[in-house]
Structure 1
Amino acid sequence: MDHTAHEPEKHHGLRRHGTASWGTAVKATLHCLTGCAIGEILGMVIGTAAGWGNVPTMVVAIALAFLFGYSFTLYAVLRAGLDLKAAIRVALAADTVSIAVMELVDNLIIALTPGAMDAELSEGLFWYALLGGFAVAFLITTPVNKWMIGRGKGHAVVHAHH
């Protein structure tokens, strides 16, 4: 007997009528935030320690944020049995918008925080701006993810492979 027919309201945090739960959206955003934070912090540390200017440092940080964000999803869907080509498609579909919004907001916060772009790794301002940017980005990206998941996009694509 198929018991899924008797579960009308939820499947992987998705509700009927095209809406997603806030819990599912928060989990998706935390997943995105983890990859973004690792990549961006690593990029900022590399660029700042190497004495690079603001633009090359931000480019490397953003590139690493996307790389780490995608790699977390790739790892999960490869473990679920997808081949590499399919896993890459799923990661791109699941994470691109979420990472892009998170990076846009986070880097905008850093750029708009007076003195943050010129702060050194040893200064609190560097870390407060970076972490504060992540907090604001999380708050803005969560409703975006909720909206996308509710329409079968974003992290909803990954849930089909769990």
Structure 2
Amino acid sequence: MDTHEHHHGPDTSWAGARSATLHCLTGCAIGEVLGMIIGTATGLHNAGTVVLSIVLAFVFGYGLTARGVLAAGLTLGAALQVAFAADTVSIAVMEVVDNAFVVAVPGAMDAGLGDLLFWASLAGSLVIAFGAALPVNKWLIARGRGHAVVHEYH
């Protein structure tokens, strides 16, 4: 008996949006945290730290998606096109929200790596960014965009 559920299209439910948002958050969080750590440890100006975090969030976000679709047999160019289509809006929303949050928390950008404020503001920013990106991803998937474009390669 085949108990595997077969879908004919992307999961447009809130659960599907949650899964897509968590996937996106993984790459964003890796890049965001790494950027904040590098920027803080090397004494980069706050603006430089934010820019580095954003760049790394896009690199890791796109990279995780591209890695998944490369496994399905796409060329690197095609995999990157799918990643750009799937993740750009979600990553952009997350990055605007999480960086705005960290910048808005008094003292967070000046906190050191050993300070609870550094880590708490960063963790809080990612939770809030997830909440902001979730309805955006739900809306995109329902219209065949965002992570819906990755579905055919899974």
**2 CA distance for matches of 1:146 and 1:119?**
35
Asked if residue 25 in structure 1 is aligned to residue 17 in structure 2, the reply is yes
Asked if residue 146 in structure 1 is aligned to residue 138 in structure 2, the reply is yes
Normalising by structure 2, we get a TM-score of: 0.93
Residue ranges of structure 2 left out of the alignment (5+ in a row): 1-5
CA contact (8 A) 1:13 1:23 kept: no
Aligned CA RMSD, in angstroms, stands at: 1.2
**1 CA distance for matches of 2:65 and 2:99?**
22
Asked if residue 57 in structure 1 is aligned to residue 34 in structure 2, the reply is no
Q: How is 1:1-162 mapped onto 2 (pairs within 5 angstroms)?
A: 11-14=8-11, 20-162=12-154
Map Cα deviations across residues 121-155 of structure 1 (whole Å, 9 max, x no partner): 11001111111000011011011000000000000
Which protein shows a greater Rg?
1
Secondary structure of the 1:120 match is coil
CA contact (8 A) 2:113 2:119 kept: yes
CA contact (8 A) 2:10 2:141 kept: no
**2 CA distance for matches of 1:24 and 1:147?**
11
Cα deviation for residue 84 of structure 1 reads: 1.2
Identical residues among aligned pairs (%): 60
CA contact (8 A) 2:10 2:151 kept: no
CA contact (8 A) 1:29 1:141 kept: yes
**1 CA distance for matches of 2:18 and 2:87?**
14
**1 CA distance for matches of 2:77 and 2:45?**
36
Secondary structure of the 2:95 match is helix
Number of aligned residue pairs: 149
Residue type at the aligned position of 1:146: K
Secondary structure of the 1:93 match is helix
Normalising by structure 1, we get a TM-score of: 0.89
**Aligned residue in 2 for 1:17:** none
